[in-house]
Amino acid sequence: MPHVEKAVKDWQQQFAGLKTSAANLMQIAFPPLEIMQSPTGCCETRLHWQDQDSEASGYVCIDDFVQATLQFENVPHSVAGQALDEVFGLGWFNGAELGVRQAGEGVYYWTDETNAAEWEVSVLPGGLANLSIEYTNAPDIATLLDALHTAYEDPHEDDAAT
């Protein structure tokens, strides 16, 4: 059985490396994310963010299946809409046929049938939005995080929803 014990240890080490790589991917895509130390409150691998200039904050978790969950609150609607519309294009979210950026107050969602991921954006009063994305793969979250970071750095205010 020593050969099986070694194989299990090798697998555990590779799996831990995969979760570390996923966390690195998130930080490269959205540099303000910081790794939380244990206890994290949920997944063992969790990153958090707090915007110093506003009430915006959030976290990304990487679970034991290496699926990612993102919860961001109080993000400027124009930033969230710009990022989501860039990644998805128009018409992906139910009820937001003209894109999330042009959507009025309300809840808009999309379910990815290939991996059972749930994507939801809540457009709030005061020009803010909450993002809730659950059970999707790390590259999809990283793509959105990169678009969010770009939108924060270079917002296209001229065509933002009012």
pLDDT for 157 equals 56
Closest by CA position to 70, among listed 16, 126, 22: 22
Rounded CA gap, 99 and 40, in Å?
34
> Could you tell me what percent of the chain has a pLDDT over 70?
95
Rounded CA gap, 33 and 84, in Å?
19
Least confident window among 36-45, 64-73, 105-114? 36-45
Q: Is the pTM of this model over 0.85?
A: yes
pLDDT for 85 equals 96
Is the pLDDT confidence value at 161 over 70? no
pLDDT for 39 equals 60
Q: Greater confidence, 108 or 114?
A: 108
Q: pLDDT band at 160, cuts 50/70/90?
A: very low
| Structural domain boundaries enclosing 115 | 2-159
**Are residues 80 and 100 in contact, defined by beta-carbon separation less than 8 angstroms?**
yes
The burial class, CB within 10 Å (0-12 / 13-18 / 19+), for 125 is: exposed
Domain count, the chain: 1
Q: Greater confidence, 83 or 18?
A: 83
